[in-house]
Amino acid sequence: MGHSHTHPYAARVTGTGSAFPEKRLTNHDFPASLQTSNEWIRERTGILERRISNPKNNSE
């Protein structure tokens, strides 16, 4: 026998958004003191660059 469940609360998506910060940091921007290279990072993580947001513009 199945049970009937009622849920007094419902959720719905009312909007979406995205951001693409202008400031970027590539693997080449890391200092030599890290003793790594673009190739090493890319081969192990697939990451080519990171986008850095302005702390004043972060969403809450």
Domain ranges of the chain: 23-51
Q: 7 is written with which tokens? A: 């849920």
pLDDT at 54 over 90: no
Question: What is the pLDDT at residue 48?
Answer: 94
Question: What is the pLDDT at residue 18?
Answer: 83
Backbone angles phi, psi at 17, to 5 degrees: -160, 170
- Give 41: exposed, middle or buried? Use CB within 10 Å, 0-12, 13-18, 19+: middle
pTM for the structure as a whole:
0.54
Q: Alpha-carbon torsion 40, 42, 48, 53, what sign?
A: negative
pLDDT at 1 over 60: no
